[in-house]
Amino acid sequence: MRKSLTVLALCLSTIGLSAPAQAQLSGTLQKIKEAGAITVGHRESSVPFSYLDANQKPIGYAMDLCAKVIDAVKSELKMPNLEVKYQAVTSQNRIPLMQNGTIDMECGSTTNSIARQQQVGFSVAYFITSVRMGVRKDSGVKDIGDLNGKPVVTTTGTTSDALIKQNEKGKAIDVKNLYGKDHADSFLMVESSRAAAFVMDDILIAGLIANSKTPDAFAIVGPSLRDEPYGVMLRKDDAPFKALIDKTLTGLMKSGEAEKLYTKWFMNPIPPRNVNLNFPMSPVLKAAFATPTDKGVE
């Protein structure tokens, strides 16, 4: 009898220990489990982070990193056949689509800023960019001061727009602000000479130039307006999901796998035109890989 009671007590103890573990599932992980699917927000023209290939499939450096996160989610939830859905997003609608539950994480070229942290959450940074200007070489624009009285484009909903305004005030220059619906649209305005400059993250400009019809006609000029970290965007205050994403990305950085993915997308020919961006990893990004952080910019 005593042995039977002991076995029963152990069984009850095991049940008691396992119940709280299940109860801890919450937020996005719970949503994913209940839906049997995870929805990934992606960009359509953020080369080489998240963009469409010739078959309209989302690919890129950020997409490869997020594929590793998806594998971690499958393992965490014990759902190897978890359905993966993709939802195209823009600079303007990415945050609302995260907040209303349409997407579960966004994998693109989204800057982690203090202002955005009031609305959404971010992983540790997987890229650090510098905001500069993309111009036609024949435009005569080489510095911010050369923009006075000229039309300047940035993409609707991006942090670069705020930087233009800050710089206008600081240097007392007067420009006509234009807004592209996405990065490709913004670059097209410079390409067609409707705008004198495209103020945006240098790597995104580099990707657009490399894939243009006449790459030699364009240049990235001017000083860096500031450095900005990119992170996977997720819902605000979702600690369990953020912990899983950060653990996955940090592991990739520490193992050297993230650097291999960087080399794949920034230092080798990439689709759709097999252009090599030839964009070496910066010292700032190397430091971010060595000591991962989710600190946002002001």
Q: Residue 201: count other Cβ atoms within 10 Å of its Cβ.
A: 27
Average confidence (pLDDT) over 158-169: 77
Checking if the pLDDT of 156 tops 80, the result is: yes
The residue with tokens 């004198």 is: 196
How confident is the model at residue 169, as a pLDDT?
A: 61
Checking if the pLDDT of 166 tops 50, the result is: yes
Tens digit of each residue's pLDDT (9 = 90 or more) over 216-249: 999 999 888 889 999 999 999 999 999 999 999 9
Closest CA to 240 of 13, 82, 12, 21: 21
Structural domains of the chain sorted by starting position, each given as residue range(s) with its CATH number in brackets: 27-126+231-290 (3.40.190.10), 130-226 (3.40.190.10)
Weakest mean pLDDT among 47-51, 156-160, 165-169, 231-235: 165-169
75-89 burial: b if 16+ Cβ within 10 Å, else e: ebbeeeebeeeebbb
Q: Name, in order, each residue with C-beta under 8 angstroms of 239's C-beta and a sequence gap of 6 or more.
A: 27
Percent of the chain with pLDDT over 70: 91
Q: How confident is the model at residue 105 (pLDDT cuts 50, 70, 90)?
A: very high
Checking if the pLDDT of 55 tops 90, the result is: yes
Count helices and strands (H / E) in the chain.
Answer: 10, 16
How confident is the model at residue 15, as a pLDDT?
A: 43
Checking if the pLDDT of 21 tops 70, the result is: no
